[in-house]
Amino acid sequence: MDQENSGNQSEEKPAAEDTAEKHVLLVKVDDMEQAEEYKTLLEVNDIPVSIADEGEKGIAIMVPEEFVDDAYIVIESQDAYDDFYDFAPDEEEDDDLGGDLFEDDF
């Protein structure tokens, strides 16, 4: 009986390489602050992520291979959103553009 149980235990336990997700490079960034921002953004979108400081080469943002496409979409969407608000006028600029444009003169 002991031999059967020990045999079954080894069959039930998957090999380490079977359970490990293969991470691939998504993007490299220059500073840890940006790396942490990407990590948070991806994790909020349910994408597993890891970061690795590679010294002078930069900081690698890595995700499992099956999440690469989704990760690119999330990052590109966030970049487009950030770019949109880079072009939004500040409140001070509103005054220079005629902030009273919508006031009634009746």
Look at residue 54 and tell me whether its pLDDT is greater than 90.
yes
Cα–Cα distance for residue pair 93/98, rounded to 1 Å = 9
Q: What pLDDT sits at residue 102?
A: 59
Instruction: Of 8-22, 62-76, 77-91, give the lowest mean pLDDT range.
Output: 8-22
**Which of 25 and 18 is assigned the larger pLDDT?**
25
Look at residue 45 and tell me whether its pLDDT is greater than 70.
yes
Give the confidence band of 89 by pLDDT, cuts at 50, 70, 90: low
**Is the overall model pTM greater than 0.75, yes or no?**
no
Look at residue 85 and tell me whether its pLDDT is greater than 90.
no
Q: Which of 69, 68, 63 is nearest to 23 (CA)?
A: 63
Q: Which of 57, 30, 29 is nearest to 42 (CA)?
A: 29
20-88 CATH pick, 3.30.70.1530, 3.30.1280.10, 3.40.630.40, 1.10.132.20: 3.30.70.1530
Domain ranges of the chain: 20-88
Parallel, antiparallel, or unpaired for β 59-64 and 23-29?
A: antiparallel
Instruction: Of 18-27, 46-55, 63-72, 89-98, give the lowest mean pLDDT range.
Output: 89-98
Segment 78-83 mean pLDDT: 77
Cα–Cα distance for residue pair 56/33, rounded to 1 Å = 16
Tokens of 50: 């890891």
